[in-house]
Structure 1
Amino acid sequence: MFKLKTLSAMTLGAMLTLPAQAASVADTPLYLNIDQQAVNDALRLQPSGSAQFKVTTRLEKGTYQIQIADKARSCGTTFGPEASKPLPFGTPNTMSACAKDGHFKLRVLLAGDYDFTLDNGNPQAPTLKVLRATKKGAFKRQPPAVDCASWDGKPVTVSVAKTWPNGTLLRDAYSGQTAKVVGGKITMTPAPHSEGVLLLEEAKPTAKAAFTWDNAIVYFMLTDRFNNGDPSNDNSFGRQKDGKDEIGTWHGGDFKGITQKLDYLKDLGINAIWITPMVEQTHGYIGGGADSSFPFYAYHGYWALDFTKIDPNYGDEAALKTMVDEAHKRGIRVLLDVVMNHTGYATLPDLQDLGLESLAQNTQSLPARWADWRPKGKYEGWGSVSQFYNYQSPDWVKWWGPDWVRAELPGYPAPGTGDITGSVGGLPDFKTESTQYVDLPYFLKHKADTNAKSLPNATVVDYLVKWHTDWVRKFGIDGFRGDTVKHVEPKAWAKLKAAGTTALKEWKAANPGKKIDDLPFFMVGEVWDHGMAKDFWFDNGMDSIINFDYQRDALEFAQCMSNVEPTYVKYAGTINKDPNFNVLSYISSHDTKLFFGDYQDVALQRRAANSFMLLPGGVQIYYGDESGRGLMKDGGVFDQAIRSDMNWSELASGEKAELVAHWQKLGQFRQAHPAVAAGSHKKVSDKPYAFVRQKGKDKVLVVFAGRQG
């Protein structure tokens, strides 16, 4: 495959010389047409298969009209749909060779390089498929221009007369340089790699700041993708690699891997970590991508099978205990991601491992261990595993059962259409609104290694609350991150919070030598698209809510820190004046986007840290924000690209190591000064932009000299 060198997405194309057996288009130059424009200087590409031809082009976010055609747009060599229709990712879409004006509509949500593959192996039914590309080209995407003051690299002077008296010795926490206040002003030169920022504090010893969740710096990692500390547990339940792009397979990250990196996290200033759900996941996979191009396992943790067991891919209880204890020794709290809304899909290995073979069919075509099944032939994808499920069997009641979940299965209530009764991603929906007392599901009653016990007079929520809070009581988990919060009744979250509070109090009483402090149990919720607003969730268990607002403006703020001023004013004036309100803001997450992925710009990532790490309220760093972790291949499922392995190999030296050092300085400054997150905010200068944060006796001044260069 060749990369196209033309920069404009509107004029990119490729000439395809088709094989002789494709007689209707033999030796005809074909071009990728985007919005009815083809490149004049076509590139001759070699086929990637006997009759497959691929071209890669850069596309920005937007909607495009797509065709494959010769220059004359002749009937017989103009490939597209007979009538215009959407072009889904990852699916071979049949085309007419005489499409005329018929075109595909391609909607691009994530800017990047995209592969278009024409398959003319069957000239009577040619197909076109599009996938996001992963190989880097020469094209360097640039962010849109933002007006910003410039800095010439020389010293800057700021009036601080209302902040510190003359003679006060101030230190730049970023560079370590000091200067005295003279004539009510301070003059310093920002460090070369600071992106024009001074972090000013009084140059005197200070006591370690007490932790509160108001000044939390939370580091969120997908455990499986963070660090592999124990390769011996990588293939639990017969899980395997796919030998290709490993998009949806387990990669090996575990508790031991996190423990090995706790000092790294401490150096970043991290005082809390958020790990993805750790309970036993479904054992097998579903088909991933529109054309089932990859096996999609529950590596992420959101497809639970048994809430009372740790998934062995992450380690065992001893490894978890060590991780939590070692984190606490370093002043790092542990937040556990919990799911109250849904369970995981039933996968083929689950049916065999749980003794539910009657739910399968055509088993004579399966290997002895069902987890070993692999698709065969050109027309069978990973989703073809569904041929072995007997969806008509009445024995599905032996799975979770109709008293527990809604699902499209015999004897089960069907999912509804609202937030509470609907199915998220087609997953079985727990009946959390039910007041009916339930017994353990059949499969858990007969699962040999479960810790689940029947509870008297218990609802579905009662079981879920007990299962989750047992981890708190046993290991001293400091808080929960609630997943899919708006899809569960508020009172269920309130019940979980009350039980978690009791459980942590009991653990601290039993482990006085291990506890960090006497702070109560903490809960933060993911209410999709929730922003800077205090509402009823705070009356139903939530101490904080994940803030979707900040990420939308993070790019502009990264380009020019002074543009953040209205947001700083709003956040400090709203959050820090209400002791019962906080949010957890972010620039990247596992569900939305990876900030570094859009531009692959290290300097921009440093500037993003400046505006973000000085934000009032709680902040959440997504693993790799601090290190410039890149995207991985996604197989047409966009959020898989942002779940790549942590880029440890890039951090020994060079610009990525310098990037980590930059985030470390900001994190340590934020952790040392509660005023940054929880104090009042006051702008003291426009040129250069400067502001003061103050909480009690803690006071800092931040200066942004402007964009350099």
Structure 2
Amino acid sequence: MKFAWLTLIWLLSVGWPYAQPPAVTKVEPPSWWREHSINPVRVLIRGQHLQGAALTVPVGLSIAGTTVNPQGTYIFADMTIHRDTPIGPTSLRIATAGGETSALFEILPPLARAGRFQGLTEDDAIYLIMVDRFADGDPRNDNPEISPGLCDRAKPRYYHGGDFQGIIDHLPYLKDLGITAIWLTPIYDNVNHVNPPTRYDSVAGVDYHGYGAVDYYAVEEHFGTLTKYRELVDAAHRIGIKVIQDQVANHTGPFHPWVEDSPTPTWFHGTKAHHLNNNWQTWTLMDPYASAALRRPVLEGWFINILPDLNQEDSEVARYLIQNSLWWVGISGEDAIRQDTLPYVPRRFWRDWTAALAREFPNVTVIGEVLNKSVPLVSFFQKGRTQHDGIDTGIHTVFDYPLFFAMRRVFGQGKPMTELPELLAMDYLYPSPHRLVTLIGSHDVKRFLNEEQASPVRLRMAFTALLTLRGIPQLYYGDEIGLRGERDPDNRRDFPGGFPGDRRNAFTKVGLLPDEQIVYGQVKTLLGLRREIPALRRGALVTLAAGDHSLVYARTTPTQAVLIAFNNAAQPLTLEVDVQALPWQNSAKLVDRLADQLRTVVTNGKVTLRIPAFSSAVFAPE
């Protein structure tokens, strides 16, 4: 009897987990569809005291492959959704030796495909929005009840109040500018407290940028709700603007619940206490001679030694990430995905991930971030070529960072113009160079006007190049008015006029400063020309002349051509250029569509161009 009492006291002292009732805190995904290309769907249930759990589901659903982790905190199960399963919410029943509980799950009707899931083409122009820094349309979510005190515009690393409603309110501004697609920084739920200083961030701050996910199936409350996000997507579609979601399959935020309690022992590469640091040697990924050990820090190292690196070679992790991507597309109707930190994930995973995406949403485009100057490395990840590792990633396109760095050097640092055609000469390495996403600014680099020799006139030249070269151009919010800013977080300043109390409203012409008006006017004109002239979007690129301070190229189709000329010198320039490669007849009259002041005539297959200092021109037939 004494032994029995001692045993009971010991069991009570340790919590007697097998006798306690089960508790569920999260079901992922929270909803799914009938007749989906993924069926059964792999359900991950998080909770407490789940050891020995048995799942039962209503008629129309069936369960198989149930496993519970040893700690009793996660259940994995394959749930088949039959064709006759009723649409709407349903309950999953979880029973253990300690009792029963239920968890909500919902069977969703599929969204109508018309006007959704559209993908991107060379006809598009993308506008990158950092959600928190664009516009505050609903001040009520600036200080949410579950995460108070994290919004302070005086602190660069805190929330500033930007949200989905602010973007909705300014969609007409973007439409008028000529934008056809918006890319939003991640909208996942982030941690509800201030992050302590680190070696990367010496100042305490919050994850206003969205890249510190703690819940892949929830929306950050400072931005709005899932319902409001879907409203934003629908509002954008109604006026002909597509939506690109920023997804992060490489890592979680440092405070994701998985970090302290992982669903499987191999969910992450290493642990918070013991892991590799990413050494950024991304060249090893395309090196046929690199050993697996040499590549390990790149593929398994924690980003900036802080962000927990997900292990996509764990089959449960891979299934989770694939389903999560498809859930976001399916529930919102968005048109494209931007995948963050693409190279640090095994290429085999990208092959499987893109294949799964294509089965359900064949038109949705994927843009991969490979932030590197090397054309061979960046091209290694684009769809259309099986590389030496036997893999084609299926990633439709990538950001043209090699061209980004070249344009920054030429227009922002005064380097020779020949660097641009020298770089473009390597386009043969890309399976589809015309699909590359080109840019002169992003949230990861300082603003263009903070380059050492940058000026508003040189920014205008850079925009001419961006919006007339091959590829799909991407603008960074505020660059169209010449916002300034050093590196993160200074390059993420609030858009003037987007927030209560702003002294001026740069969303309106009267709110623009003189230099801003000139830059904005040129960007809008260029986007209009791009929309008007098919050759600027889909024409072949022909380089006609190049020098240290000059560059002339054309975009041409069999029946149409546009000639683009640059003078990156402090004095006017006169050039005679052979244009026999273009479909123009002698005596054809050309006019500069940017300023309507420069004119020339084709004479004996040549044109004479007189270009003012630090300027560009876009010549087309009158």
Question: How would you bin the TM-score normalised by the shorter chain?
Answer: 0.5 to 0.7
C-alpha deviation, 1:571, in angstroms: 3.8
1:496 aligns with 2:353: yes
- Deviation string for 1:212-271 (max 9, x for gaps)? 523432111111111111111112332425768412111111111111121221222222
Correspondence for 2:312 among 425, 429, 432: 432
Correspondence for 2:326: 469
- Taking every aligned residue pair, what percent have the same amino acid on both sides? 26
- Write the distance in 2 (CA, Å) between the matches of 1:214 and 1:341: 28
Correspondence for 1:398 among 230, 241, 261: 261
Q: Is there any run of 5+ residues in structure 1 with no aligned partner, and where?
A: 1-209, 355-394, 436-458, 506-519, 633-637
1:662 aligns with 2:539: no
Q: Normalized against structure 2, the TM-score is what? A: 0.59
Correspondence for 1:251: 160
C-alpha deviation, 1:626, in angstroms: 0.8
The answer to whether the 8 Å contact 2:182/2:244 transfers is yes
Correspondence for 1:706 among 611, 617, 622: 611
- Write the distance in 2 (CA, Å) between the matches of 1:500 and 1:250: 33
- Deviation string for 1:340-390 (max 9, x for gaps)? 1111112xxx8xxx8xxxxxxxxxxxxxxxxxxxxxxxxxxxxxxxxxxxx
- Write the distance in 2 (CA, Å) between the matches of 1:639 and 1:535: 28
Correspondence for 1:523 among 363, 366, 373: 366
C-alpha deviation, 1:292, in angstroms: 7.2
- Write the distance in 1 (CA, Å) between the matches of 2:416 and 2:611: 11
Correspondence for 2:129 among 215, 221, 233: 221
C-alpha deviation, 1:573, in angstroms: 8.3
Change over 3 Å in CA distance of 1:321–1:575 after alignment to 2: farther
Q: How many residues were matched structurally?
A: 411
C-alpha deviation, 1:684, in angstroms: 5.4
Correspondence for 1:360: none
RMSD: 3.4
Q: Is there any run of 5+ residues in structure 2 with no aligned partner, and where?
A: 1-117, 279-295, 384-391, 498-503, 567-609, 615-622
Q: Normalized against structure 1, the TM-score is what? A: 0.53
The answer to whether the 8 Å contact 2:120/2:365 transfers is no
C-alpha deviation, 1:641, in angstroms: 1.6
The answer to whether the 8 Å contact 1:248/1:288 transfers is no
Change over 3 Å in CA distance of 1:473–1:671 after alignment to 2: same
1:230 aligns with 2:138: yes
- Write the distance in 2 (CA, Å) between the matches of 1:653 and 1:214: 30
The answer to whether the 8 Å contact 2:375/2:429 transfers is no
- Deviation string for 1:124-148 (max 9, x for gaps)? xxxxxxxxxxxxxxxxxxxxxxxxx
1:418 aligns with 2:277: no
The answer to whether the 8 Å contact 1:650/1:657 transfers is no
Change over 3 Å in CA distance of 1:576–1:682 after alignment to 2: farther
1:549 match: secondary structure: helix
1:328 aligns with 2:237: yes
Correspondence for 1:487: 344
Q: Name the amino acid aligned to 2:380.
A: D
- Deviation string for 1:618-668 (max 9, x for gaps)? 222111111111227xxxxx4212111123436223321332121111112
Structural mapping, 1:96-495, within 5 Å: 213-236=121-144, 237-241=146-150, 245-288=154-197, 294-346=203-255, 397-398=260-261, 402-409=265-272, 417-425=296-304, 426-435=306-315, 459-495=316-352
2:299 match: secondary structure: coil
C-alpha deviation, 1:559, in angstroms: 7.0
The answer to whether the 8 Å contact 2:556/2:562 transfers is yes
1:424 match: secondary structure: coil
The answer to whether the 8 Å contact 1:247/1:294 transfers is no
Correspondence for 2:485: 631
- Write the distance in 2 (CA, Å) between the matches of 1:560 and 1:296: 32
The answer to whether the 8 Å contact 1:242/1:249 transfers is yes
C-alpha deviation, 1:409, in angstroms: 4.1
Correspondence for 2:496: 647
Q: Name the amino acid aligned to 2:613.
A: Q
2:298 match: secondary structure: coil
The answer to whether the 8 Å contact 2:269/2:275 transfers is yes
Change over 3 Å in CA distance of 1:294–1:574 after alignment to 2: closer
Correspondence for 1:585 among 429, 432, 438: 438
Change over 3 Å in CA distance of 1:613–1:654 after alignment to 2: same
Change over 3 Å in CA distance of 1:602–1:475 after alignment to 2: same
Correspondence for 1:694: 556
The answer to whether the 8 Å contact 2:446/2:491 transfers is yes
The answer to whether the 8 Å contact 1:576/1:617 transfers is no
- Write the distance in 1 (CA, Å) between the matches of 2:531 and 2:479: 18
The answer to whether the 8 Å contact 2:373/2:405 transfers is no
- Write the distance in 1 (CA, Å) between the matches of 2:148 and 2:120: 41
Change over 3 Å in CA distance of 1:234–1:400 after alignment to 2: farther
The answer to whether the 8 Å contact 2:276/2:297 transfers is no
Correspondence for 1:452: none
Deviates further, 249-258 or 675-684: 675-684
Correspondence for 2:395: 542
- Write the distance in 2 (CA, Å) between the matches of 1:671 and 1:689: 23
Correspondence for 1:62: none
The answer to whether the 8 Å contact 2:460/2:522 transfers is yes
Change over 3 Å in CA distance of 1:218–1:277 after alignment to 2: same
C-alpha deviation, 1:681, in angstroms: 2.6
The answer to whether the 8 Å contact 1:627/1:647 transfers is no
- Write the distance in 2 (CA, Å) between the matches of 1:692 and 1:415: 46
Change over 3 Å in CA distance of 1:284–1:641 after alignment to 2: same
The answer to whether the 8 Å contact 1:415/1:429 transfers is no
Q: Name the amino acid aligned to 1:584.
A: V
Change over 3 Å in CA distance of 1:468–1:681 after alignment to 2: closer
Name which structure has the greater RCO, CA cutoff 8 Å, separation 6+: 1
1:585 match: secondary structure: strand
The answer to whether the 8 Å contact 1:584/1:618 transfers is yes
Change over 3 Å in CA distance of 1:306–1:560 after alignment to 2: closer
- Write the distance in 2 (CA, Å) between the matches of 1:244 and 1:319: 23
Q: Name the amino acid aligned to 1:306.
A: D
Deviates further, 581-590 or 414-423: 414-423
Q: Name the amino acid aligned to 2:394.
A: G
Change over 3 Å in CA distance of 1:334–1:691 after alignment to 2: same
2:372 match: secondary structure: coil
Correspondence for 1:595: 448
Change over 3 Å in CA distance of 1:675–1:283 after alignment to 2: same
